[in-house]
Structure 1
Amino acid sequence: MIPGARAARRTVAVLLEQQGRTFAGESGVRLADEPGPLYQLLVLVTLLSARISATVAVAAARELFAAGFRSPLAMLDASWQDRVDALGRGHYRRYDFKTSTMLGDGARLCLDRWHGDLRRLHDEAAGDAGGLRKRLVEFPGIGPTGAGIFLREVQAVWPDVAPYADSKVIDGARLLQLPSSAAELAALTTPDLLAPLMSALVRVALDRKAADAILAELDS
């Protein structure tokens, strides 16, 4: 194994090759600093915040978006049953009734307080991670963990949030013997690959087989 920074950069390269995709991208969200994609990320985070697999949450998000529920107005205009049905098609059945209600309530909050545009939330918090977390947890179903997921993904388009790493990122970094701070991890890649790197580390933390595959590649 090559010592120091060279070893870490090689690990990051293999990690990105094997697992380098964001959860937003996997759910079909083309993340941008625009109202629609930011709201879609909020929906995905609501689903990821439940005690359910990330794979199921992503599948359910794709079904909601395929049904046309890509804006807070569309989500609110949909019936409760329409949302339940879309969640069911994504196999998000354990929490579908509760989540349908939360999505409707969250859409109303987004419209009433932020006029459907989460850039207003960002501006009110002046891009401060703590201020953003405080506002994000006001949405139904989103707690501190969910707020962290949102910030981890949104740093791709809100650069003042970056570098951001939540506890799952750090868990993955430790499994791969990478630095355990956001700043040190950011130094190992380019800004455009920072969000994919953080998501890749989460995937490693959630799936030990993914970590083992990367370690095997590094040892080959």
Structure 2
Amino acid sequence: MTSRDERVLRELLDAHGCTFAEEAGITLRDTPQPLYRLLVLAVLLSARIRGSVAVAAARELQRAGLRDPRRMAGSAWQERVDALGRGGYRRYDERTATLLGDGAELVLDRWGGDLRRLREEAGGQLPRLRRLLQEVPGLGPAGAGIFLREVQRVWPGVAPFLDPKALSGAERLGLPTRPEHLVKLAGDAEPAVLAAALVRAALDRRTAEECLRRAG
């Protein structure tokens, strides 16, 4: 690790040190509603669609009042389709509307609408958390990683969590790809913020190139 690495990472964090939950207007807390809203965001981000569109769709679902699993499960399919469409999430709107309804039912039936019970069922073990999250319709390994990257802000037992997508961002920037090295390099930056910034570098080559240019 060199001063060059520190400069590159500092440039990245200064420009892109915002979690996807924050961008979607979710004030993350270890309480049922914010955790569920994060789960919905993870489902939306899992599709092959721009992150900005997924974030916009999450905001529209929230504006429609679909902020908890009970309201989501009780909503009409067309209501979900319309909210997703207003966010620009048109390519996957019908399929995702179904997934969100089915997922809400699962969260209610399996965990009583409270994802802290999922964490308890997993016994705080990361591999088990991954497996349980993938039982949610629309969440595969990548989607589970999205949720865990963000939730580590309020579930400290998960931290530090940097999944393959975040590590690919580090590789693009020429940074170390061992999570412990990146966390040390980031200093007092939260692991969730570090992960989100690295993912943005992975998703957008121009983001990485601009950080490298500014770092000199």
- Measured against the shorter chain, the TM-score band is over 0.9
**Rounded Cα–Cα distance in structure 2 between residues aligned with 1:195 and 1:123:** 21
The residue type equivalent to 1:98 in the other structure is R
Contact 2:4 2:215 in 1 (8 A): no
- Residue 160 (structure 1) aligned to one of 157, 161, 174: 157
Distance 2:209 2:9 in 1: 14
Query: Does residue 1:83 correspond to 2:80, yes or no?
Result: yes
Identical positions, percent = 56
Residue range with higher mean Cα deviation, 146-155 or 5-14? 5-14
**1:31 correspondence with 2:9:** no
Question: Is contact 1:165-1:181 (8 Å) kept?
Answer: no
CA deviation digits over 1:38-90, x for unaligned, max 9? 00000001111111111111110010011111100111121111100000000
CA separation of 1:85/1:115 partners in 2, compared to 1, >3 Å: closer, same or farther? same
Q: Which moved more, 1:39-48 or 1:183-192?
A: 183-192
Mark the runs of 5 or more structure 2 residues left unpaired by the alignment: none
- Does the aligned pair in 2 maintain the 1:72–1:116 contact within 8 Å? yes
Q: So what's the TM-score if we normalise by structure 2?
A: 0.97
Amino acid at match of 1:43: V
Q: 1:71 aligns with which of 46, 68, 71?
A: 68
Instruction: Return structure 1 stretches of 4+ with deviation > 3 angstroms.
Output: none
**What is the CA–CA distance in structure 2 between the aligned matches of 1:94 and 1:120, rounded to whole Å?**
33
Question: What RMSD over aligned residues (CA atoms) do the two structures have, in Å?
Answer: 1.1
| Deviation at residue 191 of structure 1 after TM alignment | 5.8
Q: Distance in 2 between matches of 1:43 and 1:191?
A: 29
Q: In 1, Cα distance between the equivalents of 2:35 and 2:155?
A: 10
2:190 to 188, 193, 215: 193
Could you tell me how far 1:192 is from its partner in structure 2? 5.3
- Could you tell me the TM-score, scaled by structure 1's length? 0.95
User: In structure 2, what residue type is equivalent to 1:86?
Assistant: A
Tell me what 2:127 maps to: 130
2:55 paired with 1:58: yes
CA distance in 2: counterparts of 1:191 and 1:47, whole angstroms = 30
Gaps of 5+ in 1: none
Matched pairs, number = 216
Contact 1:133 1:148 in 2 (8 A): yes
